[in-house]
Chain A
């Protein structure tokens, strides 16, 4: 029988802020010693009150905008109660009823095709501390308590582990490239909800949840193991599936049920009276939108629309400075596809010959756009432009100055070119006749005569176009 996997994800992402979510302790930048980065507030001492870090709201909303979410203008915090030594107040401040973002959408592309993953919600919350076990004792490190997190909850829209890993990779590159999160080891943690159903059926199968996984590889393995376990149960009746929370063991590669005690808690959520509801007005939202950095993902899409090839996009994505150069050159009015070819073919070739890497490319956007534009205008021929690039890359020359010194730039006089073309047509009657009768190769003779007359000045492709136009008459 054919089965279909149904997967939903809850992804916790540590936000990259200067301070923690409700106090002024240093935020993400991890301190060296345990409990270095702790104050009375984030260690749960009485008398301290949480004070909202505005930057967290802005980063969470920005993440929401990147995932095409609606931003809730009225957002509130709730307390989630449970006892654990790494949780100093015995409650976690999170969002239950009015999360900051809802109803988003992410497109995930795998070898099997593209799928829409709906984002149910994104909420803000504080992280817990860390327990360090040693000998007969356990030690508590509160450095991580109250570090801001967002939790991104998807609908059960994934159908394969590949899609899950692709989605996570997409989030990671999106957040890392825009500074929303450092996405370091352990800064992105996942709970995976998984069920299996007969292909073609609507009803969901029994769902299990695998908690708290940090590496993509573990997530991939856990999903594969768990899916197989579900399918074996359905196909061969190896066991009866129950809705439960499980943990994945990295060593054995297996999942196992967690104790009920850990899973069936009543968290007694209630609205936190210490934090007033946050109202995101039009002005603030516009400001957040205006400051939203362009995620790599969106950038790749934009490049693709310009006609830049997937291979070129991949090269650009791997070198931020090169992508930045391209963006600047485009901003100066150059065609994106052409500019990308200049950088990734012409410049890259010269660099390679010089034993340099793409990231070593040292040419200003102004300099490069100067060359591209002059060639386009026919004032600089491609060969000369290439010589200039070599001088720039190998000797650090200034493109404008170099072209000037070498006398590469020509003032193109179209009427002069026209008269040269007319002359060439006149003096090559046989070639003209051959061309007109369909022998395309004959064009080269006439074109060559033009170029010879022009002594290499003028843009060859412009001249060629002009020549063809003339021959149509």
Chain B
């Protein structure tokens, strides 16, 4: 296994995942369909890092379009039987070769990878980091985030990459943001979501309980609450995510760039064969679901309903965040990655995304640290980073 899709510099301190474009470097989003694609421009986040003197170490592998659990199904780096999870941005950060890495959080694979690799990952508030130069799938919920070992390192990189970008119509107006990891967390109120806690295995539960205990010693109040809409929120996000992904990857047709089948006699066969060969089983499943929920006869019951659920979840979470500084949940059910067949991937990802979907659905920030997830209200990154910093494991 290898970390890099494209190695750029030995002196680099920040790596970026393969869904983020770097000018003239292979940028394929882990998919065969984008074979050989080298973009003409870099992502805004990358440009900002370079402008501040950060050198880019290279492009790290991702699962095809970031759709899988933790990056296991890359066309260029597929795990073979018996291998553990290696080669991801999270593992690269863990190895210490780079200080930080950028990853696109679209359906939780970055947060799950961080949890399994025991590094931190911040998925910031939607609209704070430009999506210009991100190989987009689910435009309404994806966001560039940062992997690092410490809250301070995340804050440092976020300060560089966040802020308004006129090239992204969804970019918020603020020119810059400050991230403070040293807020006084004494007196913070954190809640654990019972329904999500119950879904995790014993090891994960034990880890989360221990984390909650350590927060208490910092003077943080911890409650157990019920969040009855977590499953519905996840379903809504999976519907929107599939629909938007289906639409966004429809441009990969073998006509303009990337993989083109050698086997075609007309334009229809060129499309069908290029796409059949170019996408993996999981992407194809997502495309089919996405097509279905957008079709005339299903739109009202699926896509439109998901949009309504999104608004309701946003309202309910706003209410919850008015009582709590953060919501504490597992990031995934297990503490270790176990191999499985790609034919099961869609269901597996669906099930695991119940932990990660709400921040994608409503654009709120989430921070994975010490194998757990902290969710906060919009622009509460400093709170989350401060909590994480106080409980960072010492002696590493």
Contacts and interface: CB of A to CB of B under 8 A. Distances in A.
Contacts of B161: none
Interface in A48-89: 48-52, 79, 81, 83, 85, 88-89
Chain A binding surface SS class: loop
A90 B33 CA distance: 15
A273 B29 contact: no
Contacts of B39: 40, 45-47
Given A46-B136, A266-B295, A268-B294, A51 B166 contact: yes
A99 to B, nearest CB: 18
Interface string B283-299: 00000000100111001
A79 B245 CA distance: 13
A270 B169 contact: no
Contacts of B140: 273
A140 interface: yes
Interface string B147-174: 0000000000000000000111110000
B169 A276 contact: yes
B250 interface: yes
A21 B352 CA distance: 40
Given A47-B133, A49-B167, A51-B169, A273 B294 contact: no
Interface string A20-58: 000000000000000000001001111111111000000
A334 to B, nearest CB: 50
A392 to B, nearest CB: 54
Interface in B280-330: 291, 294-296, 299, 303, 307
A92 to B, nearest CB: 11
A89 B136 contact: no
Nearest to B291: A268
Interface stretch (B90-98, B186-194, B253-261, B384-392): B253-261
Given A46-B29, A51-B169, 17 more contacts: A46-B37, A47-B21, A47-B43, A47-B133, A47-B136, A49-B169, A50-B169, A79-B247, A88-B256, A89-B251, A91-B251, A266-B296, A270-B243, A270-B294, A270-B299, A274-B169, A275-B169
Nearest to A77: B169
A343 B39 CA distance: 63
B247 A81 contact: yes
Contacts of A271: 307
A90 B247 CA distance: 8
Contacts of A89: 250-251
Interface of B: 21, 27, 29, 34, 37, 39-41, 43, 131-136, 139-140, 166-170, 243-244, 247, 250-251, 253, 255-257, 267, 271, 291, 294-296, 299, 303, 307
Nearest to B257: A45
A167 B329 CA distance: 63
Given A47-B41, A266-B295, A274-B139, A91 B247 contact: yes
25 contacts: A40-B39, A40-B41, A45-B40, A46-B34, A46-B135, A46-B136, A46-B251, A47-B39, A47-B43, A48-B132, A49-B169, A49-B170, A51-B168, A51-B169, A79-B247, A83-B250, A88-B251, A89-B251, A138-B267, A268-B299, A269-B294, A270-B294, A270-B303, A274-B169, A274-B170
Given A46-B34, A52-B169, A274-B170, A83 B253 contact: yes
A59 to B, nearest CB: 19
A49 B132 contact: yes
A91 to B, nearest CB: 6
Nearest to B165: A49
A450 to B, nearest CB: 77
B247 A43 contact: no
Contacts of A85: 255, 267
B131 A90 contact: no
Given A40-B40, A85-B255, A270 B247 contact: yes
Contacts of A51: 166-169
Contacts of A269: 294
Contacts of A44: 251, 256
A44 B307 CA distance: 26
A423 B294 CA distance: 96
Nearest to A50: B169
Nearest to B135: A46
Nearest to A131: B267
Given A40-B40, A44-B251, A91-B247, A268 B167 contact: no
A47 B132 contact: yes
Which 5 residue pairs are nearest across A and B when measured between Cβ atoms?
Answer: A273-B140, A90-B250, A268-B294, A273-B139, A46-B135
A138 B270 CA distance: 13
Nearest to B133: A47
Nearest to A140: B255
A238 B307 CA distance: 50
Nearest to B28: A46
Contacts of B243: 270
A141 to B, nearest CB: 13
A173 B129 CA distance: 46
A283 to B, nearest CB: 18
Contacts of A90: 250-251, 253
